[in-house]
Chains A and B, each alone.
Chain A
Amino acid sequence: MSGLYIHIPFCVRKCLYCDFYSLETMKGPISGRLKAEPEDQNQFLDSLESEFGSAPPEFRPDTVFMGGGTPTELSLSDLRKLMSMIHRMADLSGVTEWTCESNPGTITREKAELLRESGVNRISLGVQSFNQRNLDFLGRIHSPGDVESGFRMLRETGFENINLDIIYGIPGSTASEVEDDIEKIVELGPEHVSCYCLMFEQGTPLTRMLNEGHIRRMADDDELEQYRMIRKLLNKSGYTHYEISNFSVPGMECRHNHLYWGDGEYLGFGPSAHSHWQGIRRGNVRSLKKYINALQSGDSILEFSERLDPEAKARETLVMWLRRLDGVPRNKFAEHTGYDYRDLCSDQIDYFKENGVLEDRDGRLVLTEEGLFVSDAIFSELL
């Protein structure tokens, strides 16, 4: 199993919390964040094509994921160019899942049809909230109404596998607003739901507002309440909580994401895209300019690359696998990494088990519900 990731570094306007690499296409002195130049899109597509040229010949992905940024922010013609280029450059004969991220404010029926016709069979829609005040707080460009009409349009276009992203833990939001969000989601009935807790990443406007005291973090008790509520409501409506932040109707888990936390192989293309190939992790430069220039001049586009020693790698795998709620099968782990996880950290595991945050279940090591809520604290001990 392997995956193909393509990073499209453009957004209409940067959301206030976002630290993914993308340039703003909207004109005007609004956010003070990095703007795209008129010729950027063209040059980007050319560079992407030349990066594709260097992919290993044996690369035959099972999944494709187009993320960003906002892939659907590309114009219809650029999007068409991109799709035909992917077909031209990669062997897609084995692809079973092809996801495109999108934003309720940028997806049009034409673009959706184009994607559908080009082989995309899964759409991930960044909803984040159904509450206008919360959307404004996050600096999203769309309204709650856009989500519902966009979703209906996608269904009409023939998409049978749709993911909705939502964000909880938004300062000032209430548990009942989150309850509303989940109700709306359940009403729409997507196949997959990702729930992320709002993070204050370094260098974002939101973090600056926090540091300057204009806003306050949500108390962790309230965050926890929201998380528990999301879990409860989605479970009740037939969604399985299968990964720390992911829910799906049975059988509709995201295969591509599974490569990320399952130590699978994937190649990423585009600025800031990451790859994991033959034991080496690589990251491309987080700058469209540098990316374009390097590809033109034949320099490296890598910002970093690392190969972990086997034990560190095994620990990393343990931690990433534990993100799955069905846990880490001991045999499979040993087969995959060459280590028995009990040899790596039996003290910690026993201690966590004694305290009810980890448990053994049919030959698997699993986070308990309590463990789920403090998983970072557990993971950091196991690394």
Chain B
Amino acid sequence: MSKLSHIRNFCIIAHIDHGKSTLADRMLELTHTILERDQRDQYLDSMDLERERGITIKAHPVTMKYISQAGEAYRFNLIDTPGHVDFAYEVSRSLSACEGALLVVDATQGVEAQTVANTHLAVDQGLVIIPVLNKIDLPSANVEEVCRQIEDVLAIPMDETFTVSAKTGEGVGAILEEIVQRVPPPTGKLEGPTRALVFDSTYDSYRGVISYIRVVDGSLRKGDRIRLMSTGNDYEIKEVGIFNPKPVALGALETGFVGYLTGNIKDSTEMKIGDTVTRIDQAAADPLPGFKQIQPMVFSGVYPVNTADYEKLKQSLEKLVLNDSSFHFQTESSAALGLGFRCGFLGLLHMEIIQERLRREYDMDIITTYPGVIYSVYLRNGEISHVDNPAHLPEITRIGHMEEPVVLASIICPNEFIGDVMQIIMDKRGDLEKTETIDTRRVMLTCRMPLNEILIDFHDRLKSATRGYASMDYEYSGYQDSDLVKLDIYVHGELVDAFSCIVHRSKAVERGRQMCLSLKDVIPPQMFAVPIQAAIQKQIIARETVRAMRKDVTSKCYGGDVTRKRKLLERQKAGKKKMKQVGRVSIPQDAFISVLKSSQ
């Protein structure tokens, strides 16, 4: 019996909430990887945020021992992957660490946008796909119909589909057996040059970076000298092990194994996802295919509410980067907000997660600016500049033309909402490329649209126009020429850089008006009327006025109690101090937050 024949590496892919984590829970129980008394729901989602939001952010590998019906022991490595588009690259790396995928579809919902996107990713990686219809315990489960969808939309034969209830455990045993039968064992050379794929990493303040790896060829053991092939950096392995589901140190990780290694790697940016680890004494000539430097796609300024917290924010961001190298930051300063950071994220969800972790885990009060993308600015002198901050846009006279990133989005929605959805797509400057029917009730619309437009209320509008029935997924799809302008906001004649944004010319007036209006609502009356203006190159395109405070007089001087009067005035002054001063205008912190929110 070859060493590899009794290993199965697989992952679970699904649209959000279709039951991926719950199915993983049942498999952990059936294989006695965790005891029932340790069981809690969504066991693998260990981050607070993951458990609370019910999403998987990090990949979570776990090794299980399965005794097949024929009585043979198998080593199952399950990798629970994040399902969200923001993490598409991580997902693709996790998938490439596997030979098979369980495709979970909620039998009450049917195929959704991420079902399609994730299936395509898995097929691209050459994985064997085992379709699993989940939630059959629910009366609204429509097994036949959903099986047909899987066949029609994903081209997976109906008769291969398994039906289970991840909740009750019904049917889950049959899947384990099917994994043995259908997922191929790893291939790879036991001897000779060593190659291992890094598919994720976390950070621990004692042990440094903990890399999640899949050994493809050869083996790795404690004390081995290794090299990362993208950087050429060398390290010595301090520990290797598997997740069971807690980390368990082993003497060696053999060919086909999924586990972790540590090696005094100080910073997760040194250990890039998709990189290849090789041994110096068994060096591989070529890295594993598919490595990419991932670039952030969405940018926003992050500032401490309290300017004195700048250093604390910096330290928090440094710690965050240690275990999330896909997130970037760089110092920037804003006239209105002071010193802060321009941060780059993989997408909107990633941005929200980082911001929420800053608030919760690091207890930071932050203000975040309008999210934007990277624009390619072609200058007249032939240079190209990549602009991620509206404040850095070159002089308009120097610009030849600009390009913006676009995505290819697939939206699945019930037939009766097609008109509304098309309207939203048009409003968002999208081009419809294709319409396909999913079943008698639903269609899938594929369209190309600027990423910039998706960042702002697209998802919310889609959900509310379809009473929550639409689902969406997208992939990045290059750059396209675009007529973009920089929209500036002036408060009392002063430019508030934090509110500047780059928008399509056709959207500028509407956006400008909207921002002026919401500012008008949140800036309290000042001593004088305060004009709020939106402008393109100093030309005003929208304006509102915060009316002057009409009256602010207290009359009585309580029987000689001057102190009380003074304290009241001091409180009034202190209240104002807490606000950001833009020239002479005091803007409450909330105003920044709510204006930036309302325009998202």
Say yes or no: A376-B562 contact (C-beta < 8 A), given A244-B553, A357-B527: no
- In contact, B572 and A378 (Cβ under 8 angstroms): no
- B528–A355 CB distance below 8 A: yes
Among A48-56, A85-93, A192-200, the stretch that binds chain B is A192-200
**B562 in contact with A260 (CB, 8 Å):** yes
Q: Kindly identify which residue among B528, B559, B562 contacts A7, using a CB–CB cutoff of 8 Å.
A: B559
**Are the CB atoms of A67 and B549 closer together than 8 Å?**
no
Contact assessment for B572 and A268 in the assembled complex, using a CB-CB cutoff below 8 Å: no
Q: Which residues of A contact B557 (CB under 8 A)?
A: 257, 260-261, 323
Q: Which of A120-173 contact B (CB under 8 A)?
A: none
* Inter-subunit contact A283/B561 (CB<8 Å): yes
Count how many pairs of residues, one from A and one from B, have CB atoms less than 8 Å apart in the complex. Answer: 104
Q: Would you call B559 and A5 a contact (CB within 8 A)? A: yes
Q: Are A383 and B552 in contact (CB under 8 A)?
A: no
| Beta-carbon contact of A195 and B555 below 8 Å | yes
In the bound complex, do residue A372 and residue B553 qualify as a contact, i.e. CB atoms below 8 Å apart?
yes
Q: Which residue of A lies closest to B565 (CB)?
A: A320
Q: Is A223 positioned at the interface, with any CB of B under 8 Å from its CB? A: yes
On chain A, the residues within 8 Å of B550 by CB distance are 220-221, 223-224, 373-374
B467 close to chain A: CB less than 8 A:
no
Interface mask (B545-570 → A, CB under 8 Å = 1, otherwise 0): 00001111111111111110110011
- Asked whether B554 lies within 8 Å of A199 as measured between CB atoms, the reply is yes
Task: State which of A7, A257, A266, A379 has its C-beta within 8 Å of the C-beta of B569.
Answer: A379
Q: Are A380 and B573 in contact (CB under 8 A)?
A: yes
A274: which B residues are within 8 A, CB to CB?
558-563
- Nearest CB on B from A302, distance (A): 12
Task: Decide yes or no whether A30 CB sits under 8 A from chain B.
Answer: no
CA distance A316 to B569 in the complex (A): 10
Whether the pair A197, B562 counts as a contact (CB closer than 8 A) is: no
B597 contacts A by Cβ under 8 Å: no
B560:A268 contact, CB within 8 angstroms: yes
How far is it, in angstroms, between the C-alpha of A257 and the C-alpha of B556 when the chains are bound?
A: 11
In the assembled complex, which residues on chain B have CB atoms less than 8 Å from the CB atom of A261? 557, 562
Q: A374-B527, A380-B572, A380-B576 known; A197 and B554 CB under 8 Å?
A: yes
Q: Complex formed: what's the CA distance from A377 to B557 in Å?
A: 17
Q: By the criterion CB–CB under 8 Å, are B570 and A383 in contact?
A: yes
Interface string of B521-554 (1 = CB under 8 A from A): 0000001100000000000000000000111111
- Shortest beta-carbon distance from A320 to chain B in Å: 6
Identity of the chain B residue whose Cβ is nearest the Cβ of A68 in the assembled complex = B559
Tell me whether A377 and B552 are in contact (CB under 8 A).
yes
A383, B574: Cα distance in complex, Å: 11
Q: Which of A273, A323, A351 contacts B559 (CB 8 A)?
A: A273
CB nearest to A348 among chain B residues: B584
Chain A residue numbers with a CB within 8 Å of B561 are 274, 283
* Residue ID in chain A nearest B584 by CB atoms: A351
User: What residues of chain B lie closer than 8 Å to A72, measured between beta carbons?
Assistant: none
Cross-chain contact of B560 among A5, A223, A355, A379 (Cβ < 8 A):
A5
CB of A375 closer than 8 Å to a CB of B? yes
Q: Are A374 and B559 in contact (CB under 8 A)?
A: no
| A180 in the interface (beta carbon within 8 A) | no
Q: Quick check: A260 and B549 within 8 Å, CB to CB? A: no
Complex contacts, A381 vs chain B, CB 8 Å:
573, 576
Across the interface, name the chain A residue whose C-beta is closest to B561.
Answer: A274
> Are A199 and B556 in contact, with the CB atoms below 8 A?
yes
**Is there contact, CB below 8 Å, between A377 and B563?**
no
Complex alpha-carbon distance, A67 and B562, angstroms: 16
Does any Cβ of B come within 8 Å of A319's Cβ?
A: yes
A67 lies within 8 A of B559 (CB): yes
**Given the complex of chains A and B, what is the CA–CA distance between A122 and B56 in angstroms?**
80
Q: Which of the listed residues B527, B552, B559, B573 has the most CB atoms from chain A within 10 Å of its own CB?
A: B559
Which chain B residues numbered 317 to 349 have a C-beta less than 8 Å away from chain A? none
Within the complex, what minimum Cβ distance (angstroms) separates B111 from chain A? Answer: 51
User: 8 Å CB contacts to B: which residues of A6-24?
Assistant: 7, 20
Chain B residues within 8 Å of A260, by CB: 557, 560, 562
Complex Cα distance, B552 from A380, in Å, reads 11
Chain A residues with CB below 8 A from B528, complex form: 355
Name the residue on B nearest A306 (C-beta): B563
Whole-angstrom CA separation of A306 from B142 in the bound complex: 78
Asked if A276 and B576 make an inter-chain contact with CB atoms under 8 angstroms apart, the answer reads: no
Known contacts: A20-B559, A197-B555. The answer to whether A377 contacts B570 by CB under 8 A is no
- Chain A window 215-232, contacts with chain B (Cβ cutoff 8 Å), 1 for yes, 0 for no: 000001101100100000
Is there an interface contact between B563 and A281, defined as CB atoms closer than 8 Å?
yes
Q: Which residues of B contact A7 (CB under 8 A)?
A: 559
Q: Is A275 an interface residue (CB 8 A)?
A: yes
Assembled-state Cα–Cα distance A381/B569 (Å) = 8
- Contact digits for A228-262, partner B, Cβ 8 Å, 1 yes 0 no: 00000000000000001100000000000101110
Besides A199-B554, A319-B566, A374-B549, 9 more A-B contacts (Cβ < 8 Å) are A197-B554, A224-B550, A224-B551, A274-B558, A306-B563, A316-B562, A375-B552, A380-B569, A383-B573
28 A–B pairs (Cβ distance < 8 Å), ordered by A: A5-B560, A195-B555, A197-B554, A197-B555, A224-B550, A227-B553, A245-B555, A259-B560, A266-B560, A268-B560, A272-B559, A273-B560, A274-B559, A281-B563, A323-B557, A357-B527, A372-B553, A373-B551, A373-B552, A373-B553, A374-B553, A376-B554, A376-B569, A377-B572, A380-B570, A380-B576, A381-B573, A383-B570
Would you list the 5 A-B pairs with minimal beta carbon distance, nearest first? A245-B555, A380-B572, A196-B555, A274-B560, A380-B573
